[in-house]
Amino acid sequence: MDNVRVIEVKRSIFESNDQDAEKLRSELKASKTFLLNLMSSPGSGKTTTLTRTIEFLKEKYRIGVMEADIDSDVDAKTIAATGVKSIQLHTGGMCHLDADMTRQGIRELGTDDVDFAILENVGNLVCPAEFDTGSSKNAMILSVPEGHDKPLKYPLMFSICDVVLINKIDVMPYFDFDLEKCKENILFRNPNAKIIPICAKTGEGMQEWADWLSENIDKWNS
């Protein structure tokens, strides 16, 4: 396969990331590009979920994906294989992206032919939650092997997300994971969170997730 484009994104020179994020959000709104910021710990299933999501939505939207990592281009190659536009962002060792780093990625991706842009943020439940990327919506994945207590341990991440996907529900029988307790813990941190249990491996729950995205993308781009 052809090599994907790799962009080295540099840390923001702006003092206020929040202001810069608001600015990026309004630029994206004006260009009718919905940006999803997808976060989670490493290995919880971001790339697998995105691959499935693209299958559901690529006929309806022009999709572009930014894969952020400290190094490597493996995720961008996986996404490129689905046929959508995909670029790799390298963060130079940083454990998150800020709004200006996201803007550098968006510039490379282009917005003229993208109405649904996705940022797969760096795998981490702490730092990415502290930096508004300018996204239209924030989503996170909590996978079953991580445990149902994580909303209690990483409050900020759960409180800033519009939607929480509970992934790997196929392995629930092998783990001491209480789905109801997990939902309760998420809602304790964020009473407005939309919670969708999914299995990225089998596709279970993906229709509900795709419907949630469609509704929000259409609202943003109208």
Ligand X SMILES: Nc1nc2c(ncn2[C@@H]2O[C@H](COP(=O)(O)OP(=O)(O)O)[C@@H](O)[C@H]2O)c(=O)[nH]1
Residue nearest to Mg ion (CB): 47
Select from ligand X, Mg ion, none the partner in contact with residue 163, using the beta carbon and a kind-dependent cut-off of 5 to 8 Å: none
* Spatial contact of 67 and 88, defined as CB atoms under 8 Å apart: yes
Please list every residue from 159 through 188 that binds ligand X, using CB under 6 A.
167-168, 170-171
Select from ligand X, Mg ion, none the partner in contact with residue 201, using the beta carbon and a kind-dependent cut-off of 5 to 8 Å: ligand X
Please tell me whether residue 70 adopts helix, strand or coil conformation.
coil
Please list every residue from 10 through 39 that binds Mg ion, using CB under 5 A.
none
Binding mask 44-73 for Mg ion (x = CB under 5 A): --xx--------------------------
The reply to whether 75 sits near Mg ion by the rule CB under 5 A is yes
Alpha-carbon torsion (102, 35, 30, 7), positive or negative: positive
CB of 38 to ligand X, least distance (A): 9
- Segment interacting with ligand X, rule: CB under 6 A, options 27-35, 43-51, 93-101, 130-138: 43-51
Q: In sequence order, what are the residues at sequence separation of 6 or more whose Cβ sits closer than 8 angstroms to the Cβ of residue 195? A: 163, 164, 166, 183, 186, 187
CB of 48 to Mg ion, least distance (A): 8
In the list 10, 11, 26, 42, the residue contacting ligand X (rule: CB under 6 A) is 42
Q: By CB under 6 A, how many residues form the interface with ligand X?
A: 16
* Spatial contact of 201 and 171, defined as CB atoms under 8 Å apart: no
Please list every residue from 160 through 219 that binds Mg ion, using CB under 5 A.
none
- Segment interacting with ligand X, rule: CB under 6 A, options 9-17, 26-34, 41-49, 90-98: 41-49
Residue 72: count other Cβ atoms within 10 Å of its Cβ: 12
Q: In sequence order, what are the residues at sequence separation of 6 or more whose Cβ sits closer than 8 angstroms to the Cβ of residue 32? A: 115, 220, 221
Tokens standing for 120?
A: 């797969």
* Spatial contact of 38 and 119, defined as CB atoms under 8 Å apart: yes
The reply to whether 190 sits near ligand X by the rule CB under 6 A is no
Task: Give the span between the Cα atoms of 25 and 136, in whole angstroms.
Answer: 7
Task: Give the span between the Cα atoms of 196 and 199, in whole angstroms.
Answer: 10
In the list 12, 17, 37, 44, the residue contacting ligand X (rule: CB under 6 A) is 44
Binding region for ligand X (CB under 6 A): 40, 42-48, 123, 167-168, 170-171, 199-201
Binding region for Mg ion (CB under 5 A): 46-47, 75
